[in-house]
A and B are shown apart, each in its own frame.
Chain A
Amino acid sequence: MSRLNEKKDYECRPYTCKDEEQVRALVKNVFGDFLGGEFWNWKYKSNPGFDPDLVMVAERDGALVGCNHWLLKDFVLSPSLETKAVLGADIAVDPACRSQGVGKTLLHSLRSSESVKIKKPSFVFMFADPSLAKRFHNPKGGYFLAPDRTAFYLKILHWGKLEDNVRRLNDQIAAGKFKDRLSGVKLNVLFKISNSPRLLFSMTENGIAVGEKDEGDVRKPDVTITADLNTLQKVGARKKRYLNMLKALLTGKLKIRGKPKSLIALYRNMWILQEIFSQKIF
């Protein structure tokens, strides 16, 4: 382990119960509400398989700057085959100490730790965003995509999160942030997303109004956008947005209908929808 920490001003060592408060605070700082407090207690402290020896912390001048949690599990490989494997759970690095190799050292320290040598898990499995896995987990931890055949089903019940995004944008508009860009805007855009409540955006220079549109709603849309949820997510993502939009338009997965004047207005004000859809929408 000392070899791994050469020329580094932090040290990786196994977790002890004295670290609990600092680890919880670090995880809360990095992941926010998602894993803070109650969630950490459940996921680790109350976990029947929690083994403190499989948690590694990075320490600098007495303060924890990173941690990596592994959880030992009985993993089913096939109907007749079962093995000990570890879930590569939360890895957290203090934002002030990023890009200094702390995450990589934590990944490597656990792999070469005494407890892993004793417990002999066959492999690590974990769930991650594919782009993060490509950037970090694959080159640093030798991770590869599992041969998985899982389907994921989704149904939108309401657009509350998207309305929150609009509220945040309106706050910025009220603070005068987009004053020039919004000048003269007046456009109603109806989203018909398959199997989801219809959504009407009314864009004016004073702000954006958004709401679910029911049958009795008399407001007429200038532009109607029809798509499925998958397409909406791809077009909303920041990465390759225009390429995805072009592909969806050409394959008919995304349909945009309206008078030429309205379509030009939509094109000019596309940034508004991008601001809203690039954040979490459900």
Chain B
Amino acid sequence: MTGFGTCKYELRIYEEGDEAEIVKLFDKAYSNYGGYVRKTPEYWRWCCLQRPDVEREGILVAMEKATREIVGYVVAGKSGSLWELTCPPHPDKKEIVTLLLDNAVSYLEQKEAASVNFAAPQADLVIGQACKERGFATSAPPKMFLSVLNFQKLVSLIANDKADELKEKFDETLLIRIKDAPFWVCDTICVNINRNEVTVDDKSRDSTIHVDVDYLTFCSLLFGSLSPFDAFTRFRLKVRPRSKTPTLLRLLSALQIKTDWSFQLSEFG
């Protein structure tokens, strides 16, 4: 396979030891996204290299000829799935993606796969354009579903991540009661924000703001698929005292995960 390529880039088959570079490349490509599993070289070996329908010949690495730097890679499974196709931002990204796609399709044609399919971020317009030019259709992506197991931990993580912003803007004790909490989650979350610290626990105490909310609404709020304003206008938030409603909406907005989520097919498994 060495020698396949354009004037500036060439493809070669995966070689032992590439995984460290590959994982770095993946991290770079997904540095602005969430919604995927953190990869280590060991995890990548299991997830891609050892996957039952993947042969070494199906893992193609694109390199810049002059520098021998890895600039992209694709993991093609004989079943037709491109488990990973990754190319971080690069001036020649479209050329690299096209090179990877063309060679992955040729490999899969040899393997008599019925179709080629893969997932990529919607916001990646370069991949979208390369796919359009190569005759790919867009189809409904696989759906990811979530179920919260530990609200305190999740809210605490988000609150600590945004602690500086919260401490600067708020001085409140927010008590959240989840009306229809499933048996495996605690139905009380207390977020205490003052100038010195942000703490989250499940103890019911005197609060400056009290909100009643249902499980699905609270999950949608945390993961950013519903805005606090929409939740309020749909009567899904019951706030006490009512005068604190604007503060609550700003606080819930600050506690939301607002990053775009995207995953590749290698997340299966």
Contact = CB atoms under 8 A, between A and B. Distances in A.
Interface of A: 38-39, 42-43, 46-49, 73-83, 86-89, 108, 111-112, 116, 120-130, 133, 137-138, 141-161, 194-196, 228-230, 233, 282
Contacts, number: 241
A157 B142 contact: no
A149 B121 contact: yes
B170 interface: no
A16 to B, nearest CB: 23
Given A121-B150, A150-B262, A158-B114, A145 B138 contact: no
B71 to A, nearest CB: 20
Interface of B: 30-38, 42-43, 46, 50-52, 80, 105, 108-109, 112-124, 127-128, 131, 134-150, 153-154, 157-158, 161, 182-184, 215-216, 219-220, 223-225, 257-263, 267-269
B35 A148 contact: yes
Q: Which 5 A-B pairs have the closest CB atoms?
A: A152-B141, A78-B259, A111-B184, A195-B135, A147-B225
B15 to A, nearest CB: 21
Given A125-B145, A145-B146, A148-B262, 9 more contacts: A39-B52, A76-B33, A79-B32, A108-B184, A123-B146, A123-B149, A150-B262, A194-B137, A229-B137
B178 to A, nearest CB: 11
B140 A230 contact: yes
A230 B149 contact: no
B149 A121 contact: yes
A34 B42 CA distance: 24
Contacts of B137: 153-155, 194-196, 228-230
Contact of A150 (B38, B46, B141, B154): B141
Contacts of B225: 145-147
Given A128-B143, A154-B136, A122 B149 contact: yes
A81 B123 CA distance: 21
B128 A127 contact: no
